[in-house]
Amino acid sequence: MASKKIQSALISVYYKDNLEPIIALLKKHGVKIYSTGGTQKFIEEQGAEVIPVEELTSYPSIFGGRVKTLHPKIFGGILYRRENEGDVAQAAEYDIPAIDLVIVDLYPFEETVASGASEADIIEKIDIGGISLIRAAAKNFKDVIIIASKNQYGELEAKLEAQDGATTIEDRRYFAAQAFQVSSNYDTHIFNYFNRAENIPALKVSESKAKALRYGENPHQAAHFYGNLEDLFDQLNGKELSYNNLVDVDAAVNLIAEFPDQTAFAILKHTNACGCATADTVKEAYQKAFAADTTSAFGGVLVTNQTVDQEAAEEMNSLFFEVLIAPE
């Protein structure tokens, strides 16, 4: 499994929540720690010894913190191939120490944009050193393990506990994949911010939140919804939605939107309208829509653009349907 004991680590993070157990484990296993600024101070407060990055590079943090870790002694220590004789010789020639673990996260660009901050503040939250460290460590996953998000601290802690401070090639490849997910998501948000003004004809979408649906297009298939489903509607009752339910919901909502000034009701099955009608009340509109195809309506999706009152609810109660969509 190509297990490797972690002997050195570079830690430079924006979020320090739940980092303490990892620091304790690294200290326990005698891992040499390099760090910067606020992270260095935090680690020292945990009782662990830290070598400042400036001591390794012989350069201070410059340009208002824009350049801290961008140096051959940092990136060389991450990227040199431990089994390549030429790389090993060059590392020795230039006194470049190996770095086996990189823990780094990124400036909160997306959150800064969402806060309504000025463009100057937003630009300063475009991470350069962090994103470069992530890509470098992920590229050299054969030798280095990369932790690119505070959400992975728990996983790393569990592995270090279970494997006596070592990682396997499977561990390192897994975290490398996670790291590239983090970096690609970050770059997507930066591009989309700039493209608000530039209108480059390109679509970049990155969603990390996924909800498992009851099943896919067919019962034996799996399906997921990416994004925040709760932002679209409130599910008041009933079982988990399936892929087909969501497709029908989307078709139903788009159909009922065609009647903004009338009380309307529609019944859909597999995205096709079994019936659609307008009337003075929800009950009457439902009765008309149902009368259009009383057979296909069974197990369908019902939608109206008005609040469902008791009379309408009692009328619908005799029909088995999958979903009812209505405003409050």
What are the residue boundaries of the structural domains of the chain, listed by start? 4-198, 224-325
- Under the banding of pLDDT at 50, 70 and 90, the label for residue 231 is confident
Q: What is the pLDDT of residue 207?
A: 81
**224-325 maps to which CATH number?**
3.40.140.20
Q: What CATH class does 4-198 carry?
A: alpha beta
- Residues classed as catalytic: 139, 270
Model's pTM, two decimal places?
0.77
Q: What is the pLDDT of residue 203?
A: 87
What digits encode the pLDDT tens for the residues 6-65?
Answer: 999 999 998 888 899 999 999 999 999 999 888 999 999 999 999 999 988 888 888 887
Provide the mean pLDDT of the chain. Answer: 92
Q: Which of 169, 155, 54, 142 is nearest to 103 (CA)?
A: 155
Amino acid at 118: S
Q: What is the pLDDT of residue 188?
A: 95
What digits encode the pLDDT tens for the residues 88-124?
Answer: 999 999 999 999 999 999 999 999 999 999 999 999 9
Quote the CA–CA distance of 209 and 2 in Å, as a whole number: 32
Q: Is the pLDDT of residue 232 over 90?
A: no
Quote the CA–CA distance of 159 and 259 in Å, as a whole number: 57
The proportion of the chain whose per-residue pLDDT surpasses 90, expressed as a percent, equals 76
Q: What is the pLDDT of residue 148?
A: 96
Three-state helix/strand/coil letters over the chain: CCCEECCEEEEECCCCCCCHHHHHHHHHCCCEEEECHHHHHHHHHCCCCCEEHHHHHCCCCECCCCECCCCHHHHHHHHCCCCCHHHHHHHHHCCCCCCCEEEECCCCHHHHHHCCCCHHHHHHCCCCHHHHHHHHHHHCCCCCEEECCHHHHHHHHHHHHHCCCEECHHHHHHHHHHHHHHHHHHHHHHHHHHHHHHCCCCCCCCCCCEEECCCCCCCCCCCEEECCHHHCCCCCCCCCCCHHHHHHHHHHHHHHCCCCCCEEEEEEECCEEEEEEEECCHHHHHHHHHHHCCCCCCCEEEEECCCCCHHHHHHHCCCCEEEEECCC
Mean pLDDT across 260-286: 93
- CB-count burial class (<10 Å; 0-12, 13-18, 19+) for 60: exposed
> Which residues, 6 or more positions from 91, have their beta carbon under 8 angstroms from its beta carbon?
76, 77, 80, 97, 98
- Across 263-287, b (16+ Cβ under 10 Å) vs e yields bbbbbbbeeebbbbbbbeebbbbbb
Distance of CA 45 to the CA centre of its chain: 31
How many Cα atoms occupy the beta-carbon half-sphere of 75 within 13 Å? 14
Quote the CA–CA distance of 155 and 177 in Å, as a whole number: 14
> Is 224-325 the same fold as 4-198?
no
Q: What is the pLDDT of residue 1?
A: 52
Mean pLDDT across 303-314: 94
Mean pLDDT across 196-219: 88
